[in-house]
Amino acid sequence: MNIDVVFTAQTCSKERVKGKNAVVIDVLRFTSVVAAAMANGAKGIVPFLSVEGAEQYRKDSTEEILLGGERACNKIPGFDFGNSPLEYTPEAVEGKLIGITTTNGTVAIGNAAEATALYALSLLNLQAVVDRLLDGGEDVVIVCSGTLARFALEDGLCAGAAIARLMADTTCELSDSAYLLSTFYEQNKGTLKAVLSRSVHARRLLRLGYTEDLDYCCTVDKFDVVPVLNKGMLMRL
Amino acid sequence: MNIDVVFTAQTCSKERVKGKNAVVIDVLRFTSVVAAAMANGAKGIVPFLSVEGAEQYRKDSTEEILLGGERACNKIPGFDFGNSPLEYTPEAVEGKLIGITTTNGTVAIGNAAEATALYALSLLNLQAVVDRLLDGGEDVVIVCSGTLARFALEDGLCAGAAIARLMADTTCELSDSAYLLSTFYEQNKGTLKAVLSRSVHARRLLRLGYTEDLDYCCTVDKFDVVPVLNKGMLMRL
């Protein structure tokens, strides 16, 4: 299995993912939200690049639509949820369709959509997605969303964790970026939360008071869900 | 001192380098060529994006111009040198002006040219450039050239080495990418050549027979030269 890693959403080209399985990571916090919402029974999550796109989706739908996401880390006026996975409780999301727009994660989904299959990965559903990739056996491109077009350490750490688990089960040929992140994970796997908390984005969330979110997003293998993109909607596999 | 790292030439935006000191790295082999040619007495090196640009420079000049560089790792027909630092001997380059075009390194120089000052760094002239950055004291952006728009491990290792030396002498605030590469270097500094040789680009050069080039480019602090960009020409500071 060939494994490649793209460092930011913006540098994920169609050519890079074509014919491969893509995995999108935005640990803080979009793909953690996706894992939590799916595990708590959401019927589907539709990612949007703009607030207007999400609002239009709600307007055009005959079914009840909830909206979530963030701008500058905070909830968007008129939306039902922010970008905290703690908000997406079973009571709030079970059986519901949710439109979400975020600054980084939904951009990565859009840019990687040409892949053979696209899965949303966070630490919360690490093993579930890894098992799916091992079942498929195709080459894998891991797309780290990053923050405002810059590499985000927390996404790199999650990518490294996925690579380590893939390597434990199959023979892998790593690109330079994949090798870099696999060694970074091996070096830091004993202190995941400490390393993750030093990232620029984690420190910003902590300053804004999202301490519980950070703890939650550092939890490994909390959920056994594989969110897969199907005609523009993330659904439980 | 704030330190940031850009992973590939293509992702180096004007905004990212503006008001900062930029350091361009292309260990295999453009910035190693620059360090060797400068140390061996070349008067100046002008980077070009295209073969035609370099040829036009020679045509338009009243002075003798030598041309160097590569396409697909090999020498360009009609040029005086390929992209091997071993070719740029004192006998060949002393007092000469050289136009060079390569696939990755000259792209990085072009994209980082808006920086306050731009230096060319390789392992060959590591401490010389680090000393210059410490003298300046301004924020630093390290631009890894990469290979065909992908991250190259050898450039990341050299970036990490520079960061480690800067951190030894001054207080540094690292971006997530800078932190990742500084820890990667710390982990691998005892086996630099072995790690560098596993990069995708190093393996390609080895397959093509450039074994001596690889040995040469892995030499740390061979030269005490600081190549700086001045009106489009790299010159010895």
Given an 8 Å threshold on Cβ–Cβ distance, is B150 in contact with A177? yes
Q: What would the pLDDT profile of B81-109 be if each residue is shown by its tens digit?
A: 999 999 999 999 999 999 999 989 899 99
Report the CATH number that the domain containing residue A191 is assigned in CATH: 3.90.1560.10
Given an 8 Å threshold on Cβ–Cβ distance, is A183 in contact with B179? no
CA count, 13 A, side-chain hemisphere, A207:
9
Q: What percent of chain B has pLDDT over 70?
A: 100
> Contact A98/A48 with Cβ under 8 angstroms?
no
B234: its two tokens: 């790299």
Which residues, in sequence order, are bridge partners of residue B135?
none
The CA distance from B24 to B3, in Å, is 13
B75-114 burial code (b ≥16 CB/10 A, e <16):
bbeebbbbbbbbbbeeebbeebbbbbbbbbbbbbbbbbbb
Q: What is the mean pLDDT of residues B15-31?
A: 96
- Chain A residue with Cα closest to B7: A7
Q: What is the ipTM of this complex?
A: 0.95
Given an 8 Å threshold on Cβ–Cβ distance, is A7 in contact with B151? yes
Q: Residue B206 is part of which domain span?
A: 2-226
- Chain A residue with Cα closest to B203: A176
The CA distance from A184 to A178, in Å, is 10
For residue A29, say if its preceding peptide bond is cis, omega within 30 degrees of 0: yes
Largest Cα–Cα separation, chain A: 50
Given an 8 Å threshold on Cβ–Cβ distance, is A177 in contact with B7? yes
Whether the pTM exceeds 0.90: the reply is yes
Residue B140 in domain: yes
Name every residue in A having a CB less than 8 A away from some CB of B.
Answer: 7-8, 10-11, 149-153, 156, 175-177, 179-181, 183-184, 187-188, 198-201
Of A28, A180, A196, which to mutate for an interface test with B (greatest number of B Cβ within 10 Å)? A180
Q: What would the pLDDT profile of B28-76 be if each residue is shown by its tens digit?
A: 999 999 999 999 999 999 999 999 999 999 999 999 999 999 999 999 9
Query: How much is the pLDDT for A137?
Result: 87
Residue B28 in domain: yes
Q: Give the total number of structural domains in chain B.
A: 1
What is residue B76's DSSP assignment?
Answer: P
Contacts with B138 (C-beta within 8 Å, 6 or more apart), sequence order: B1, B19, B20, B21, B116
Of A14, A151, A203, which to mutate for an interface test with B (greatest number of B Cβ within 10 Å)? A151
For A48, B32, B131, the CA distances from B124, given in Å and listed in that order, are 48, 6, 14
Q: With 90 as the cut, is the pLDDT of residue B136 above it?
A: no
A167: its two tokens: 């390597």
Which residues, in sequence order, are bridge partners of residue A227?
A236
> Contact B3/B178 with Cβ under 8 angstroms?
yes
Q: What percent of chain A has pLDDT over 70?
A: 100
Of A2, A6, A7, A111, which to mutate for an interface test with B (greatest number of B Cβ within 10 Å)? A7
CA nearest to A122, candidates A147, A148, A98, A142: A142
Q: Establish, for the pair of chains A and B, how many residue pairs have beta carbons separated by less than 8 Å.
A: 60
Given an 8 Å threshold on Cβ–Cβ distance, is B184 in contact with A179? no
Residue B234 in domain: no
Q: With 90 as the cut, is the pLDDT of residue B137 above it?
A: no
Which residues, in sequence order, are bridge partners of residue B48?
B101
The CA distance from B237 to B221, in Å, is 17
